[in-house]
Each structure stands twice: as structure tokens, then as C-alpha cells.
Structure 1
Amino acid sequence: MEFEALPERRKEQLMAFNRLLTIMDELREQCPWDKKQTIDSLRHLTIEETYELSDAIIEGDLPEIKKEIGDIMLHMVFYSKIASETNTFDIADVLNGLCEKLIFRHPHIYGDVKAETEEQVKQNWEALKMKEGNKSVLAGVPKSLPALVKAMRIQEKARGAGFDWEEKEQVWEKVEEEMQEFKAEFNVVEKSAIDTEKAEAEFGDLLFSLVNYARFVNINVESALERTNKKFIKRFQHIESRAKEQGKTLQDMTLAEMDVYWEEAKRL
């Protein structure tokens, strides 16, 4: 479709993207910091920006989400600009490659395959990825993902291949089984020393089973744990604030005194 025939808002979107590309070109040519960057040097900054976007999403802060999306967009353009300087690829190659992949992986939209449910779409998606050359269904799970997120992605990938429990009750039975095995290894009643390596292994199995159950009941484990982290921080800082009002430090307080303020924080 010719540019002039596009809806006005699409024209504005394309012009905004063109403006970003132009600014990126200028920064790469003129800014000492931008000129120095490499794909490797940007990597840790991209990870940081991704976590900042995650924080904004958890907080439900839409203005901050918009800002963080922009920061990540800049990084994507930056990587593409650096690669274009060695004629490896540029932003057009990146976007066209993405479009082709999306079309290929959505034959129920762009072809004659039928997929009427989300589950069918996921199964088709994993089957198509195998056709693209993946040696394993799990090959697409990044090695450097945090373990909790990785557990959920592994389970989702396995489900896409048809390897999964049928009912959530079965998953909960597995949770209880793993809990008992962990309890046995941890010797919670006895005072004898434990085998740390075995206890750690059983604890890992227990966490994995809990992640599995969370997935069955549509709980995002990473978001759930982070919300709990934030809740704990808020309540703990309330204790610190109340202690300061009393002219005390936490080290000056008994556990019972701190618990009073903890319960107070829970009511706020």
C-alpha cells in the first residue's frame, strides 16, 4: 500500500519510527558514548531496561510502561544500526524477518489450518518451530532466564507438545507428594543434621510442582512472587518508620514489638 493511501494514524506511526531511526543515525555518528557502543556492551543495559518495564507493568503504571517500551525500542534500533555498519542486517531485515515468521507460525490466519482454541494455536506453534530446525521443544527456552520463569516456560513448552497433566487435581497431588518428600529430607521434627544436597534437590522438585500448579490455575509465578516481595518491603519499611518515630532502631526492638507494627502495617 502506498504511503499516501494509509490511514492518518498509521502515517504518524511510521513517521515517528522514521524520526527514531534518523536520531539513531545522528547519535551513532556524533555522540562519543553512542559511537563507542557494541552489541556486547548494550546487552546488560537491555536486560536492565527489560526489568524496569517489568516493574512498571507490575505497578500498573501506564505512563512508565510507555517510557520503558521506548527505552527498549531504542535498544532494538541500536542493535540493528550497529549490525548495519558491517552489512550484517539492518532494521528492515529484522522487521521483515519477524513478519515472515509471524505469517508462517499463524497458518490459521494466513493459511488453511484450523485452530479455534488457544491450546490448538500453541500446539501448532511448537510443531512449526520444530519444522524450522529446533532439535527440541525446549530449545527455545533461554538458558539465562531466572529459574522461576524458566520453570514456567519449560512447562508451557512441554504442554504445547502434549506432555502435561490432564486435571489440576493431579498436579496438586504431585505438590503434596513433593512436600512430603521434602519434609522427609529436611527432618523438620528431628534435630539431626540434614543432607543439604538432597534437601536442595527435593526443595527444587517442590518449587517446580508449585509452579506447575500455578500454571494450571493461571497464576503467573514471577508476578505473584514479586507482588509478595513488594508487600513485604512495604510492611517492613513501616516497621522501620514506626521504630524511628519511637527513637529506636530495629536492633533496639524485640521481635514482639516489631510484630505489633507488622500487624499494624497489614491493616493499612
Structure 2
Amino acid sequence: MTLDRLVTIMKRLRDPVRGCEWDSVQTFATIAPYTIEEAYEVADAIQRDDMTALADELGDLQLQVVFHAEMAEELGLFTLDDVVTRISDKLERRHPHIFGDAENGGHHLWEQIKAEERAADPDQSALAGVALALPALERAAKLQKRAARVGFDWPDASGPRAKIDEELAELEAETSHERRTDELGDLLFAVVNLARHLKVDPEEALRQANRKFEQRFRSIETAPDFADLSLDEKEALWQAAKR
């Protein structure tokens, strides 16, 4: 099996005597940022509809799973087989209409089973399990969704829209960097809340804005002596790029 080859390669790289001087000294903490980065590179390949790149990036992401599992096995914590077994068990458990006796399934049943599993967690907060490592916009949206499940939410989009005006006014009234940072965070949180009520993924919306800005800026910075142009001249180029 191809995965067996990857596992064998990783074991050799991690060998403390004959392995790679970089791979052999890594830890969960030092590898975690690369795991997150590889997941984003997978998403980027999909966004660009580059299937050749996607195959490469999925391989890089698979390596991260094998890397973490190998380090865990070295510490006697769990193995790659344990990882695969757990996700397989979870998929079967959460799809009883496919693998069990339930007649109806779908996302509602999935969420119901997840809720039942969370009931056994010692942390019984509605916000339990929202990963700290998520991108801030995505984590904000998940925290708000969890709070909304227990009735802590605006009835419609007018609530978060008014909150944006309130937070913007508070931001403008602050003079210290620390307080401005705090108020700007509140403003961003309110914007995420509005996006949620409008059924817009804030992370995806910002990614699109980033792409749009990059495309337009790249198109105008090729103008002769761009850095030396006045702001009005640059703005005229920007407006032309938008058109």
C-alpha cells in the first residue's frame, strides 16, 4: 500500500541516529503550524481549480497526519491505525441511516449525534470544542452559532448592523493603542455577526476581497513610476482597474 511506504519513510526520517537532522527533532507544537499551512494550500489549489496542485497538496497534508501519528507512536500515545480506526468509527456512528438501522439521516441527524457525544464532555459549555487554532473570523462565527443554539442571538440582521455602528463609534472615541485594539476586535466580531445573519461565510468573503485587491493592485502597479505617482493618480488607476 502506498501509505505504508510513506509511513516507512517517516520512520526513517525520525530515526534519532540515522534520520534527518530536522525531521527527527520536531514535536507536535513545532509541526502544528505546517499542518495548518498545508490545509490552506489544499484550499488554495481547489480555489484555483488546479487539480495537479491539489494532488500534491493533499499529499503534503497526508504527510502531516503521518508525521503527527509517528511522533505519537514514539511516545506510546496512539498509532496511525488508531487515527484511521477512530475516524472510521466516527463516520459510521454519525451515519446510522447508512451503516445502521435509522431510516432518515442528513445534517440534522449528524448534529444531533454530535450533541449527544458532547454531552459526555466534562466541559458542558455551549462553546466547548470550538478550536482555539481556527482563523479568528471562522472561530468568531462558530462561537456565535453555538451561542445562538441556546437562544443568545439577535432576532434578525438589524441587531448586528446597529452593533457595528455602536462599536465603530466606540473605536473612534478611543485614543490609546490598547483600547483601540480592544474596540477594533469588538467591531470585527460584530461584522462577523452581521455576515452570519446574512448567511455569508466571513472567512470566504474576506478571501474574495483579498483576491480582488491583489488582482487590481497587480494591474495598476505596472504603471510607469508607480511609486512616485500622487495618491490621486494612483486612485484614478484603481478606479480604472475596478471598471
TM-score range, shorter chain: 0.7 to 0.9
Higher helix proportion, which one?
A: 1
8 A contact 1:148–1:221 mirrored in 2: yes
Mapped to 1, the partners of 2:200 and 2:90 lie a distance apart of: 29
Indicate the structure (1 or 2) with the bigger Cα radius of gyration: 1
SS of residue matched to 2:128: helix
Higher mean Cα deviation, 90-99 or 16-25? 16-25
Kindly indicate whether residue 151 of structure 2 is the aligned counterpart of residue 163 of structure 1: yes
Kindly indicate whether residue 49 of structure 2 is the aligned counterpart of residue 73 of structure 1: no
8 A contact 2:141–2:192 mirrored in 1: yes
The residue aligned with 2:74 is 85
Letter in 2 for 1:263: Q
SS of residue matched to 2:146: helix
Residues 74/172 of structure 1: CA separation in 2 closer, same or farther (3 Å cut): same
Mapped to 1, the partners of 2:123 and 2:95 lie a distance apart of: 18
Mapped to 1, the partners of 2:12 and 2:181 lie a distance apart of: 53
Kindly indicate whether residue 237 of structure 2 is the aligned counterpart of residue 261 of structure 1: yes
The residue aligned with 1:31 is 19
2:3 to 17, 24, 31: 17
Give 1:198 deviation, angstroms: 6.4
Q: TM-score, normalised by structure 1?
A: 0.74
Mapped to 2, the partners of 1:124 and 1:158 lie a distance apart of: 19
Mapped to 2, the partners of 1:107 and 1:76 lie a distance apart of: 27
- Which consecutive residues of structure 2, in runs of 5 or more, have no partner in the other structure? none
8 A contact 1:126–1:137 mirrored in 2: no
Mapped to 2, the partners of 1:123 and 1:217 lie a distance apart of: 24
Residues 206/115 of structure 1: CA separation in 2 closer, same or farther (3 Å cut): farther
The residue aligned with 1:181 is 166
Letter in 1 for 2:167: F
SS of residue matched to 2:206: helix
Mapped to 2, the partners of 1:181 and 1:162 lie a distance apart of: 25
SS of residue matched to 1:87: coil
Mapped to 1, the partners of 2:8 and 2:121 lie a distance apart of: 34
Give 1:59 deviation, angstroms: 2.9
The residue aligned with 1:190 is none
The residue aligned with 1:54 is 43
Instruction: Count matched residues.
Output: 239
Residues 114/207 of structure 1: CA separation in 2 closer, same or farther (3 Å cut): farther
Mapped to 2, the partners of 1:156 and 1:65 lie a distance apart of: 31
**TM superposition outliers: structure 1 runs of 4+ over 6 Å:** none
SS of residue matched to 2:9: helix
Residues 151/202 of structure 1: CA separation in 2 closer, same or farther (3 Å cut): same
Give 1:22 deviation, angstroms: 2.7
The residue aligned with 1:42 is 31
SS of residue matched to 1:139: coil
8 A contact 2:161–2:194 mirrored in 1: no
Mapped to 1, the partners of 2:190 and 2:13 lie a distance apart of: 49
Mapped to 2, the partners of 1:165 and 1:114 lie a distance apart of: 33
| CA-atom RMSD in angstroms | 2.9
1:231 to 212, 215, 222: 212
